[in-house]
Structure 1
Amino acid sequence: MKRSKIRTLLFAGVAVLALSGGFAGWNYFTPPSHAAEGHGDSHGHEEGEEKHDEGKEEQHGHGHEDEHGHGGGEAEGEHAEGIIALNAEQIAAAGIKVAAVGPGKLAREVSVPGKIVAAADRMAQIVPKVGGTVTEAKKNLGDTVEKGEVLALIESREMAEAVADYLAAKRAEELARTTFNREKGLWDKKITAEQDYLTAKNGHQEAKIKLDLAKQKLQALGQDGEVSSNGNSRFHELRTPLPGRIIARELTLGEYVDTTHSAFTVADLSVVWVETAIAPGDLPFVKEGQMANVTGSGGKTEGKLIFVSPAIDPETRAAKAIIELENTDGKWRPGEFATAAIATSAQDTDLIVPKDALQTIDGKTVLFVRNDKGFEKRDVMTGREDSRHIEIISGVTFGEPVAVSSTFTLKAELGKSEAEHEH
């Protein structure tokens, strides 16, 4: 009984072993199609990933190259930005002047408003010396005249009487001189009496005195030339005592004029004055002989302070001052307003440039530095200033050449080139 159970258990174990061995053998000898396919899929995925990675690397490489290429373009653009390409001929044609940045003096200035007026010592109010009727006006408003030139003719009874008195005195002197010469000859020969000689001598002297008085009267009436009895003696010639331009005319043809009103005003405007007033607080610093920078509609120019009043005007509470300006080109006109900056002292400064050299671009102060291509825009920092110059703190160095005139032209050219670059 026990043996049959043992035998049954042995057969069952052998069967189990046979079944498990057959399954393993089948699994071992079956073609590995699914395993190969699985491995192929895995390899294909890896190749795809590699290709994808290569594509990413290639794309990244191209992107990096494009980025650098674009970045290089920006670098090149940045290098070109702010450059105005101009050759020497174009610079000269534009009137651009170049000067080196260097040391200079900045003035301490007293700035005051003023008014342009004709220089008092170069202006004449021409008033007739006799009353009469205007028969001819030879000059008009605005005409340029020379010293001694006739402006108008005035027919005057007073002049006619003065000429008649002169001519009568002249004839009387001639007659008295003839009588004196005859009596003197007779007296020398002891032919005539001494009393007759002395009477003739006294008569001649009196005639000379009357002639001199008549001549002086004519001169006082403006008659300096030869006087004749041809009928023109009744005319008074109104002449200008200085060269210049007629800036006022107060007579008309046929009008009666007298000796109390001006007929013409002539001014030499090659030199003009700026009348201004100095506040009491500034008077200790302002002296005659100092230079002043004057700005107005006539532009900018330099003048000289020729007068400072020693008294304070009770109405303005300031001292009158006069600045003299050269005006040969006639750009300063009497009556216009101006501003004067009187330089009272000066201070040494390391780097200065004229104010005309500076421009403002995008809210920044710039200079245009000369280089081999033309000019380069350079941002600068400024410091102290006066009416003509300004201190440069940073942005340029000693000796660098910069444009000091017509810089607005460079600003316009820069704006044009930047606009074209954006398009």
Structure 2
Amino acid sequence: MKKNIIALLVGIVLFSCKDNTAETSPSEIKKDNEIVVTQSQFAASSMQIGTANEQEFDVTVKTTGKIDVPPQNRAKVSSFIGGYIKSTTLLVGDKVTKGQALLTLENTEFLDIQKDYLEVAEQINYLKSEYNRQKTLYDEKITSQKNYLKAESEYRRAFGMYQSLKAKLNLVHISPSNVEKGKLTSVITVYSPISGDIVVMNANVGMYVAPSEVLLEIIETDHLHLELDVFEKDILKVREEQKIKFTVPEASKEVFNASVHLVGKSIEGANRVINVHGHLDDNIKQRLLTGMFVEANIITAAQTGLAIPIGALVTENNKNYVLVLEKKTNDYVFKKQLVKIGAKTETEVEIIPDAKVTATTRILLKGAYDITE
């Protein structure tokens, strides 16, 4: 009885080992660069076999650049005369319109300019009258030329000063007519020279700003465009109105559209590049920011090639392979075949045909990742 029990236990152990071996066998067998896939594995992974199809691919010039705006659509705001910031309510990102009040500055120097203007304005009528009187007397030979020239010189000097101070008041947006009425102010308002978005804000209430300091920067985002650098060897392929597809790799994988608007006429820098200006589609301008780095493809032509889905391409150690069907019995036997690739779209990739991979070669088009990962 004891011997029968031992024999039974040994049999159970052997059966269990055999069963476990069957369950843990790999789903694919790799030998001599071959991969064997069973019928059940093929169906479970919804694999598909087919041939490469002919498709048109874009011929492109690869380039890099940035999002920018034309010089006339970017404004750095400063004051002609320094002062202390008295008030502002704006922040980076706020939209402003041309002529809108941005902030106010306070400085006693503004009062000095107005005082000088007022003094000259009060003298100008007398000096003009004296000049005209001396001219009349000189014409009638009653006074000397010396007196006449002196009166003329004093009037013209005062008139020049008057015009200079008046222009300076206009530059800081102080009304000369109000000054002549005795309405003086130590506060001036700085207005926006363009409409757009505030991208730099250096102004805080109470701080002193010199005339050379930038208070804030405004950009008209409606005029965003691409500034691309194209190498000399590619520039003759680029023409106006060609389509551009670009990405902002640091922010998104999304592909955006643009078109070539202007092509530079001179080679710049040690890298020997030519500037290409591209116009953006209106619907994406509000999503992009100036200064963003872009990678772009300028579409210069189209060519026909053999295409397979991107998922059918297997990349290992910087080499590209496809799984070619070697034979089909009860199982599917595939062989990894090295291929060269060409152009790409978002879903397909071009393969360059050779003696081993042609338009009639049967390739695993779907499920390659499942059996090679």
* Coarse TM-score class (shorter-chain normalised): 0.5 to 0.7
Shift of 1:192: 6.9
Q: Could you tell me which residue of structure 2 aligns to residue 325 of structure 1?
A: 280
Could you tell me which runs of 5 or more consecutive residues in structure 2 were left unpaired when the two chains were aligned: 1-54, 314-340, 350-373
**RMSD, matched Cα:** 4.3
Q: How does 1:119-198 map to 2 (within 5 A)?
A: 119-180=70-131, 193=143
In structure 2, the CA distance between the partners of 1:362 and 1:244, relative to structure 1 (3 Å rule), is same
In structure 2, the CA distance between the partners of 1:338 and 1:135, relative to structure 1 (3 Å rule), is same
2:164 pairs, out of 213, 225, 236, with 213
Q: How does 1:408-423 map to 2 (within 5 A)?
A: none
1:223 pairs, out of 168, 173, 185, with 173
Tell me, yes or no, if the aligned pair for 1:116 and 1:337 is still in contact at 8 Å: yes
Shift of 1:212: 1.6
Tell me, yes or no, if the aligned pair for 1:183 and 1:192 is still in contact at 8 Å: no
Equivalents in 2 of 1:326, 1:161: separation in Å?
52
Tell me, yes or no, if the aligned pair for 2:66 and 2:226 is still in contact at 8 Å: yes
Q: How does 1:33-48 map to 2 (within 5 A)?
A: none
1:244 pairs, out of 169, 173, 196, with 196
* Residue 222 (structure 2) pairs with residue 270 (structure 1): yes
Equivalents in 1 of 2:96, 2:224: separation in Å?
18
1:340 pairs, out of 296, 300, 306, with 296
Higher strand share: 2
Greater C-alpha Rg: 1
* CA offsets 1:377-403 (integer angstroms, 9 cap, x no match): xxxxxx997769999xxxxxxxxxxxx
In structure 2, the CA distance between the partners of 1:302 and 1:245, relative to structure 1 (3 Å rule), is same
Equivalents in 1 of 2:345, 2:184: separation in Å?
60
Shift of 1:267: 0.3
Equivalents in 1 of 2:268, 2:154: separation in Å?
61
One-letter amino acid of the structure 2 residue matched with residue 274 of structure 1: L
Q: Could you tell me which residue of structure 2 aligns to residue 254 of structure 1?
A: 206
Q: Could you tell me which residue of structure 2 aligns to residue 114 of structure 1?
A: 65
Tell me, yes or no, if the aligned pair for 2:174 and 2:188 is still in contact at 8 Å: no
Shift of 1:257: 0.6
One-letter amino acid of the structure 2 residue matched with residue 128 of structure 1: S
Higher helix share: 1
In structure 2, the CA distance between the partners of 1:105 and 1:306, relative to structure 1 (3 Å rule), is farther
Shift of 1:337: 3.8
Tell me, yes or no, if the aligned pair for 1:313 and 1:320 is still in contact at 8 Å: no
Tell me, yes or no, if the aligned pair for 1:108 and 1:345 is still in contact at 8 Å: yes
Could you tell me which runs of 5 or more consecutive residues in structure 1 were left unpaired when the two chains were aligned: 1-103, 350-357, 364-382, 392-423
* CA offsets 1:326-361 (integer angstroms, 9 cap, x no match): 5465122224343322122356x7xxxxxxxx9999
Q: Could you tell me which residue of structure 2 aligns to residue 233 of structure 1?
A: 185
Tell me, yes or no, if the aligned pair for 1:288 and 1:308 is still in contact at 8 Å: no
SS at the partner of 2:288? Answer: coil
SS at the partner of 1:303? Answer: strand
In structure 2, the CA distance between the partners of 1:305 and 1:108, relative to structure 1 (3 Å rule), is farther
In structure 2, the CA distance between the partners of 1:388 and 1:304, relative to structure 1 (3 Å rule), is farther
Shift of 1:208: 1.8
One-letter amino acid of the structure 1 residue matched with residue 121 of structure 2: K
One-letter amino acid of the structure 2 residue matched with residue 226 of structure 1: P
* CA offsets 1:44-97 (integer angstroms, 9 cap, x no match): xxxxxxxxxxxxxxxxxxxxxxxxxxxxxxxxxxxxxxxxxxxxxxxxxxxxxx
Q: Which has the higher contact order (CA 8 A, sep 6+)?
A: 2
In structure 2, the CA distance between the partners of 1:177 and 1:339, relative to structure 1 (3 Å rule), is same
Tell me, yes or no, if the aligned pair for 1:109 and 1:386 is still in contact at 8 Å: no
